[in-house]
Amino acid sequence: MEKGTFAFEDWLKEIQEEVAKRNLSDALRTIAEKILERYGARVWFAEILGKRWSYVTGCGGEDPLPLRQIPLTPRFGLVAEKWECIPPSEGEAILAFLRELLAQTGTSSVKSEG
């Protein structure tokens, strides 16, 4: 399947099935990779600890760009570069999926990559 021609619903369903078997950190990493591959948007995930957003995993870039920070749950947030590359309805669906995934974790901490 060529990039961009895979129906969004199928793409999301495939990711949901793929990450269901993984621990949270690996699941988030996979989701970030898939978003980068499909849209060219770079996202990474962080634990929200007061003012600190502490890196967990993701595909953050090395070039300074405007950022969008999106709290997903009281505990976790997503940081994105080029989030505008994702059609709004698809972005909302991705965020809804992430919120559902993270809701299962509650307020527990997640070990970051390292």
Nearest to 79 by CA among 109, 110, 48: 48
Tell me the pairing of strands 52-58 and 42-49.
antiparallel
81 within 8 A of 107, measured Cβ to Cβ: no
Q: According to the binding rule CB under 8 A, does residue 69 interact with another protein?
A: yes
With CB under 8 A as the contact rule, the residue among 79, 86, 98, 101 that binds another protein is 79
Query: Does residue 83 touch another protein according to CB under 8 A?
Result: no
User: Tokens 């999926």 belong to which residue?
Assistant: 97
Determine if 21 is a binding residue for another protein (CB under 8 A): no
Dist CA 4 CA 9 (whole Å) = 12
- The residues with which 78 forms a beta bridge, in sequence order, are 45, 70
Q: Considering the complex, state which of residue 21 and residue 52 has its C-beta at the smaller distance from another protein.
A: 52
| Nearest residue (CB) to another protein, 12 versus 79 | 79
Axis crossing angle, helix 8-19 with helix 88-103, rounded to the nearest 10: 20
- By CB under 8 A, residue 44 contacts another protein: yes
Q: Does 65 bind another protein (CB under 8 A)?
A: yes
Out of 50, 88, 104, 106, point to the residue binding another protein (CB under 8 A).
50
| Binding-site ranges for another protein (CB under 8 A) | 44-47, 49-56, 58, 60, 62-67, 69, 77, 79, 109, 111-114
